[in-house]
């Protein structure tokens, strides 16, 4: 499943996404457990004036392949970006159409 939310105001944009993935493969024999993978992913970004972007991601994954008590992992990520081509000093540049540093 997937749930998305986008809010635009002036030149700013807030974008949030929540997704869920469930995979299960039953085992045909009783000697092995079923294979299961569950993943939740929440990511979001905020763009300020179409120039500055902050983003983050939180992923929680569970798998029957992981050993013992370590079957669930939480993996966070954060980042920043700058769209330099939207700055005044590069707006009318004939050589650079789009430049983004991430």
Query: Per-residue confidence at 34, pLDDT binned at 50, 70, 90?
Result: low
Q: Is the pLDDT score of 33 beyond 70?
A: no
Q: Is the pLDDT score of 8 beyond 90?
A: yes
**Alpha carbons 90 and 92: distance in angstroms, whole number:** 6
Give the mean model confidence (pLDDT) for residues 52-70. 84
Give the mean model confidence (pLDDT) for residues 70-99. 89
Q: Is the pLDDT score of 64 beyond 80?
A: no
What is the 3 state secondary structure string of 73-88? EEEEEEEEEEEHHHCH
Average pLDDT, the chain: 87
Task: List, in sequence order, every beta strand (DSSP E) within 1-102.
Answer: 2-9, 12-25, 35-48, 52-63, 72-83, 100-101
pTM: 0.71
């Amino acid at each position: 499943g997937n749930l998305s939310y986008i809010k635009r105001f002036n030149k700013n944009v807030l974008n949030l996404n929540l997704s869920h993935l469930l995979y299960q493969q039953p085992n045909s024999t009783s000697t092995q457990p079923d294979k299961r993978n569950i993943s939740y992913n929440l990511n979001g970004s905020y763009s300020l004036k179409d120039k500055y972007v902050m983003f983050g991601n939180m992923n929680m994954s569970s798998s029957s392949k992981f050993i013992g008590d370590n079957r669930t992992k939480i993996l966070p990520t954060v980042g920043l970006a700058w769209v330099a081509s939207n700055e005044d000093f590069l707006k009318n540049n004939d050589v650079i159409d789009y430049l983004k540093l991430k």
